[in-house]
């Protein structure tokens, strides 16, 4: 039997969000219905609303969620009814060229539910990142569910479903930060702060935070940065070199997404340093660099998409680190709100006032 639940959608480009009744179909083979406990408000949800991602309105927003599996379709074996899960947008196929090459983080056949959730009049919804979790229940592919322990704060661990994972993964997966290394993080929003937490978790001993906002730098220090540079008032590259013996950092993580900060990241790397690009540029942005500065200095430039995470590997491990007190996910939860407060949360996000607003259902 299909079920009717409350959910938050956006009907047209830049329209205000609305709480409406939606219909969740019975799960087909390989699908699961998840009763949502918490869902973080991410920049990507705002981009859907503003028309930056597509034109497939109405969108069912929300994608950074924890829930409990309440129904499963035929053939589902990775989760069972009653399991606490974190949702993900990287349910890899295991068969495409990327998966066959051993790089499933670039899988281009990631699974979503095959059926559509709808409005009461039958209008099909497009779920944000194939999830749609600003809702009492949502329908996903079972592979989008990763079982995790129940004895933890759902709001905190649910953030691993998107932005926090992107930052931590930029450090531990893409950057492969090792014990005793130096790491610089340029841009200390939610993603950059998570990269700092990831660098600390990996055992980095020098962690330099760079931002143009002193409040962000204060937060960075709280989360493990050992040094800070305000790049509005001083030079980012010189500031990073000054605290790394004059050389630059072993790993530099760019978490802004602008040409000038990409360039700073490039020049702030030590010999053979790794530059990790997690900030997303716009299509028209370009960067020009002297080839000799690439050639003569060694190292690598790597992009990081969703922190190069594999949810079934990374989510349970990071929940365990949280339980052991080594990863402060609580610090990312700035406020707990209801389904009706999402528009206000978007405004606060724009003002840079919160790391994460988290909807509790």
Which residues 6+ apart lie within 8 Å of 93 measured at CB? 99, 107, 109, 110, 111
Give the CA count within 13 Å in the CB-facing half-sphere of 143.
Answer: 16
Cβ distance to ligand APR smaller for residue 23 or 240: 240
How far apart CA 160 and CA 332 sit, in angstroms, is: 10
Q: Give the strands of the sheet with 249-254, arranged side by side.
A: 227-230, 206-211, 182-186, 249-254, 269-277, 300-303
Smallest distance, ligand APR to C-beta of residue 59, A: 18
Among residues 93, 119, 212, 317, which is the contact residue for ligand APR, using CB under 6 A? Answer: 212
CB 188 within 8 A of CB 220: yes
Q: Does 198 bind ligand APR (CB under 6 A)?
A: no
Q: Is the peptide bond before 50 cis (omega within 30 degrees of 0)?
A: no
Cβ distance to ligand APR smaller for residue 34 or 193: 193
As to burial, measured by CB atoms within 10 angstroms (0-12 exposed, 13-18 middle, 19+ buried), residue 276 is buried
Smallest distance, ligand APR to C-beta of residue 18, A: 25
Span of 65-73, 84-92, 196-204, 256-264 interacting with ligand APR by CB under 6 A: 256-264
Vertex 57: Cα angle to 54 and 61 (nearest 5): 85
Among residues 163, 198, 248, 307, which is the contact residue for ligand APR, using CB under 6 A? Answer: 163
Q: Does 63 bind ligand APR (CB under 6 A)?
A: no
Span of 84-92, 265-273, 275-283, 300-308 interacting with Zn ion by CB under 5 A: 84-92
Q: Which does 109 bind (CB under 5 to 8 A by kind): Zn ion, ligand APR, none?
A: Zn ion
First to last CA, the chain: 22
Q: Does 93 bind Zn ion (CB under 5 A)?
A: yes
Among residues 169, 279, 307, 311, which is the contact residue for ligand APR, using CB under 6 A? Answer: 279
Smallest distance, Zn ion to C-beta of residue 21, A: 25
The widest CA-to-CA distance across the chain, in whole angstroms, is 66
Give the Cβ contact number of residue 331 at 10 Å: 16
Q: Does 53 bind Zn ion (CB under 5 A)?
A: no
Q: Record the tokens describing residue 288, joined without a space.
A: 């020009």
Cβ distance to Zn ion smaller for residue 102 or 246: 102
Mask for 66-105, x = binds ligand APR (CB under 6 A): ----------------------------------------
Q: Does 334 bind Zn ion (CB under 5 A)?
A: no
Smallest distance, ligand APR to C-beta of residue 268, A: 12
Among residues 24, 252, 256, 268, which is the contact residue for ligand APR, using CB under 6 A? Answer: 256
Span of 22-30, 106-114, 171-179, 207-215 interacting with Zn ion by CB under 5 A: 106-114
Span of 56-64, 106-114, 275-283, 308-316 interacting with ligand APR by CB under 6 A: 275-283
Q: Which does 342 bind (CB under 5 to 8 A by kind): ligand APR, Zn ion, none?
A: none
Span of 114-122, 125-133, 135-143, 276-284 interacting with ligand APR by CB under 6 A: 276-284
Q: Record the tokens describing residue 91, joined without a space.
A: 């349910």
Q: What is the DSSP code string of 302-330?
A: EE-SGGG--HHHHHHHHHHHHHTTSS-GG
Closest by CA position to 252, among listed 162, 168, 170: 170
Closest by CA position to 357, among listed 338, 333, 339: 333
CB 288 within 8 A of CB 316: no
Span of 11-19, 37-45, 142-150, 269-277 interacting with Zn ion by CB under 5 A: 37-45
Q: Does 32 bind ligand APR (CB under 6 A)?
A: no
Q: Give the binding site for ligand APR (CB under 6 A).
A: 43, 163, 166, 186-192, 210-213, 216, 231, 255-258, 260-261, 278-280
């Amino acid at each position: 039997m299909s079920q009717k639940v409350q959910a938050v959608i956006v009907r047209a480009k830049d329209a205000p969000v609305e709480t409406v009744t939606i219909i969740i179909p019975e799960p087909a083979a390989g699908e699961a219905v998840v009763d949502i406990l918490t869902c973080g408000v991410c920049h990507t949800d705002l981009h859907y609303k503003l028309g930056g991602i597509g034109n497939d309105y109405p969108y069912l927003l929300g994608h950074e969620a924890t829930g409990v599996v309440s129904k499963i379709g035929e053939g589902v074996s990775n989760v069972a009814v009653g399991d606490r899960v974190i949702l993900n947008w990287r349910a890899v196929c295991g068969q495409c060229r990327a998966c066959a090459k051993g790089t499933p983080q670039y899988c281009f056949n990631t699974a979503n539910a095959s059926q559509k959730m709808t409005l009461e009049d039958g209008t099909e919804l497009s779920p944000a990142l194939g999830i749609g979790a600003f809702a009492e229940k949502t329908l996903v592919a079972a592979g989008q569910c990763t079982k995790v322990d129940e004895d933890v704060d759902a709001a905190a661990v649910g953030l691993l479903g998107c932005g926090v994972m992107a930052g931590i993964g930029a450090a531990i997966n893409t950057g492969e930060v090792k014990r005793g290394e130096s790491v610089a993080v340029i841009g200390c929003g939610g993603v950059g702060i998570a990269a700092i937490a990831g660098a600390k978790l990996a055992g980095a001993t020098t962690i330099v935070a760079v931002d143009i906002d002193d409040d962000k730098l204060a937060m960075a220090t709280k989360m493990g940065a050992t040094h800070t540079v305000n790049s509005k008032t001083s030079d980012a590259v010189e500031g990073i070199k000054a605290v790394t013996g004059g050389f630059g950092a072993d790993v530099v993580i760019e978490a802004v997404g602008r040409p000038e900060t990409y360039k700073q990241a490039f020049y702030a790397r030590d010999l053979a340093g790794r530059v990790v690009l997690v900030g997303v540029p716009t299509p028209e942005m370009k960067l020009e660099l002297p080839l000799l500065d690439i050639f003569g200095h060694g190292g690598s430039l790597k992009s990081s998409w969703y922190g190069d995470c594999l949810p079934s590997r990374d989510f349970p491990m990071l929940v365990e680190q949280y339980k052991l007190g080594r990863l402060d996910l609580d610090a990312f939860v700035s406020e707990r709100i209801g389904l009706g407060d999402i528009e206000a949360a978007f405004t606060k996000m724009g003002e840079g006032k919160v790391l994460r607003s988290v909807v509790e259902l």
